[in-house]
Structure 1
Amino acid sequence: MMDSQAVDTQAFLDAFMTLMQECAMPLFEEARTYAQGAGLEVRLELHGAEKASPGLCLLVNYPDGQLEHGFNSCCITAEPSLQKVLHEDFYSDSNQRRVQRGKLASINQMVLHTRLATFFQTAFGLQPDYIAKQHPTGFW
């Protein structure tokens, strides 16, 4: 018999993975397509609940490794023990990491579009027009 904390942790992970598949993955795939269209090298990694750090990560670099420090990343990771979501961006040129914890509800289109737009602007000086087109004036 599982204790209530184990049940809560499993329920959190189930909800997290559902949000990854239904909300985050389509938005990150859209971002991957955008980055590829901008001539960037892109990887998208989804780690399931069986992994130590389940989540989704968009890794982007200039082609041919022009950025010698490696990939910039925009990631969402589960912290099941805290029942929190970790939103983390890493910018390799400045070696800067931005981290914010949130609830499951932070995995939504508005939050993720804002994060992705900020990520591309900060890392590559790009302003993803496809995001702006999906939101009314005043979104930013």
Structure 2
Amino acid sequence: MTDPRPIWWSATEVDAPDTWIEAFDALTDEERADEMGLTAAIFIARVRRRTGRGPTFSETFAELFPSSQLHPEWPPGLTYPVRATIHHAFRLHVAIQWKRRGWICWDSGVERSLRVGPTFRERSRARQAARAR
């Protein structure tokens, strides 16, 4: 039997609230994924240029959503470890969607390896070439 819960919500038997599913979709759907992936890539490029290494996922998401709560309210009764696991998985799976679209990349198991992806590099080169004309 297939689990109907999103993979990023698998840390608990409680069903994912619709508001969480809507938040994930808003960050990864066709309409917003490129916008959010580009925004993440720009931040990553700035951090790498300034520090020589990539930001963490936490730093990236804090930059993208500084003044608003990224996630909707938690359902009652979830423990802190369960919430932390869901929070980490949610961000990771959002980032995976941006990676699939070529905006960002990282090396599994390597701290601060976030970097821009091939789509970002391609568009950046095209933009620089257009400005040089």
TM-score interval, smaller chain? under 0.3
Higher helix share: 2
- After TM superposition, the score normalised by the length of structure 2 is 0.28
Higher strand share: 1
- After TM superposition, the score normalised by the length of structure 1 is 0.27
Query: Relative contact order: is structure 1 or structure 2 higher (C-alpha 8 Å, sep ≥ 6)?
Result: 2
